[in-house]
Amino acid sequence: MMKKKGADSPMWAICQHEFFRLFKSIKSLITVAFIVGISYLVSDLVNQAANFLPQQELAQGHALGIFVLIMLFGPLFVFSLSHDVINRELAGRTIRFLVTRTSRNQIILGKFLGVAFFWLTCMIITFGVVFATVQTFDAKTFYLCVSLLIYCISLALLLSLVIPRPSYTMFLGIVIALILPGLGLWSTFSSHPAAAWIKYLTPFSFMEKGGAWTGFIWLYAAAFLIASMYLFRRRDC
């Protein structure tokens, strides 16, 4: 019998393990339930105000709750759940088992894809609930939310590789998650000279510009991922 290509790939095994590990976590389930619940409430409120809003603004308003929630708290959600995606394996020495079974690049990619698929599934569930409630789907907002989460996932992965202790990445991840949205919003709308270049270090100015500018968010994510692969290849396990 012919085997399915990639079915036995260690990278996909790592990806599946990370994906299901997150879904088995009580903290993850509470986070997902919180996002879905808030999104449903905002969507329901906008639906009740339908008589007072133009049809075009009404269609965007249903996804407004998800967008604001992910923009302000998306980094915090990602860092709180995935701050230790690599250093957890290093601290427990289980990384030695992984590096003997597959390449280090595949370990990084497997971890990244597992976390990314988890958040993609969360966004599909959240937007699915809104769609089931009001029969509208805002593809642009969905894309922006996923882009921001991918940026945060790549940064969390790099952070967990650079800093060896999970307790340190937990603290630093929360600090970054709180500073990042504030810095992004300040630099996007401020006239301060420093804001002119600081805004290009965060994803929020690219989200505000929209269109092809959002591609820079994915370029940042790719840069974080490549840096993680480079550092992991040079690290003793």
35-79, pLDDT tens digit by residue? Answer: 888 888 877 777 776 666 565 556 566 677 788 889 889 999 999
- The string of pLDDT tens digits covering residues 220-235 is 999 999 999 999 988 8
Q: Chain-wide mean pLDDT for the chain?
A: 85
104-134 and 10-24 helices, crossing angle to 10°: 50
- Two structure tokens written together for 152: 């945060």
139-162 and 215-233 helices, crossing angle to 10°: 20
Q: How far is it, in rounded angstroms, from Cα 75 to Cα 181?
A: 8
Q: How far is it, in rounded angstroms, from Cα 212 to Cα 57?
A: 23
Q: How far is it, in rounded angstroms, from Cα 163 to Cα 175?
A: 14
- The string of pLDDT tens digits covering residues 198-222 is 888 889 888 888 888 999 999 999 9
The full length of the chain comes to: 237
Three-class DSSP labels, the chain: CCCCCCCCCHHHHHHHHHHHHHHHCHHHHHHHHHHHHHHHHHHHHHHHCHHHCCHHHHHHHCCHHHHHHHHHHHHHHHHHHHCCCCHHHHHCCCHHHHHCCCCHHHHHHHHHHHHHHHHHHHHHHHHHHHHHHHCCCCHHHHHHHHHHHHHHHHHHHHHHHHCCCHHHHHHHHHHHHHHHHHHHHHHHHCCCCCHHHHHHHCCHHHHHHCHHHHHHHHHHHHHHHHHHHHHHHCCCC
Q: How far is it, in rounded angstroms, from Cα 167 to Cα 190?
A: 34
Q: Computed over its alpha carbons, how large is the radius of gyration of the chain?
A: 19
Work out the pLDDT band at 1, boundaries 50, 70, 90: very low
Contact 22, 81 (CB under 8 A): yes
Q: How far is it, in rounded angstroms, from Cα 113 to Cα 107?
A: 10
